[in-house]
Amino acid sequence: MKTKNKVALVTGGSMGFKNGGPSIGGAVSIRLARDGYRVVIIDFCEMGKKTVEIIEKSGGEAIFVNGDVSNTEDVKKAITTAKSKFRGLHCLVNCAARYTPDMAKNIAEISEEEWTKTIDVNLGGYFRTAKYAIPLILKSGGGTIINISSIEAFLALPNFSVYCVSKAAIDGLTRALAVDFAPLIRTNSVCPGFVKIANSQGNRTPQELKEWYSRIAKNYPMKRVCEVEEIANVVSFLASDKSSYINGQTIIVDGGKIVADFHEF
């Protein structure tokens, strides 16, 4: 799937903020660079520099833009960087997401402020980057948009109300973009299940992490936890000409969890 002279913008492309560990956005950025894309990464986390370092060590090209996708000027800065440094844009991957302890609440308990802030990142960030990136993608000859959603668009995780709502809305946005901008731009979403990322590890010890992942894996037919590279591989496919007739689709990457019923009789 080697791509020449193409440019990708990845939101939330930093490695894990705690120690530079695995992240979906980081893995996507690294994989697209391996495919030949020159990559612009926007994230408010300085670990975006770590992603660039990894890409450059492998011979790729990448630029980190410190910015917040809830800020229109930051989004415009990232797109301007793609235009000025790499002279175009062909692929947008929306991956930035908000996670705070205060958002882990049901509808009755979550504050209006937390609801609004989360929607402004998880959905508004996708809207902003698409809105301001699409003209440059069209000017560059067309391309692809891939939105990272979640199986929580279909399944309600207890006391995680705003997250579930925002992810369901992302899939709606994906379909709207797919209809409005095809055939020059194809838009699809990827819905992961649980993925092993550094930002969810908390202060667990290596042994505690092993036990935690083992408990989660019991609810997945594949009996293991997804690695970030497995999500990046799907994004790579959707960004490539190998998926040239796939548009407006939601690709679930969850090892079969969404179709599994583990009732005991």
| pLDDT string in tens for the chain (265-residue length) | 566 689 999 999 999 987 889 999 999 999 999 999 999 999 999 999 999 999 999 999 999 999 999 999 999 999 999 999 999 999 999 999 998 888 899 999 999 999 999 999 999 999 999 999 999 999 999 999 999 999 999 999 999 999 999 999 999 999 999 999 999 999 999 999 999 998 888 888 899 999 999 999 999 999 999 999 999 999 999 999 999 999 999 999 999 999 998 887 8
- 35-62 burial: b if 16+ Cβ within 10 Å, else e: bebbbbbbbbbebbbbbbebbeeeebbb
Residue 76, judged by CB atoms within 10 A of its CB (0-12, 13-18, 19+), counts as: middle
Q: Which residues are catalytic?
A: 163
Distance (Å, whole) CA 237 – CA 32: 10
- Domain 7-251 -> CATH class: alpha beta
Rounded to 5 degrees, what are φ and ψ at 143? 170, -145
Distance (Å, whole) CA 112 – CA 219: 33
C-beta separation of 35 from 63 below 8 A? no
C-beta separation of 190 from 234 below 8 A? yes
- Note if the pTM is more than 0.85: yes
| pLDDT for 2 | 61
Sheet strand arrangement including 91-94: 62-66, 38-43, 7-11, 91-94, 143-148, 185-192, 250-253
- In the chain, where the domains are located: 7-251
| pLDDT for 247 | 98
Closest CA to 144 of 1, 25, 9: 9
C-beta separation of 51 from 14 below 8 A? yes
- Looking only at the bridges linking them, the beta strands covering 250-253 and 7-11 are unpaired
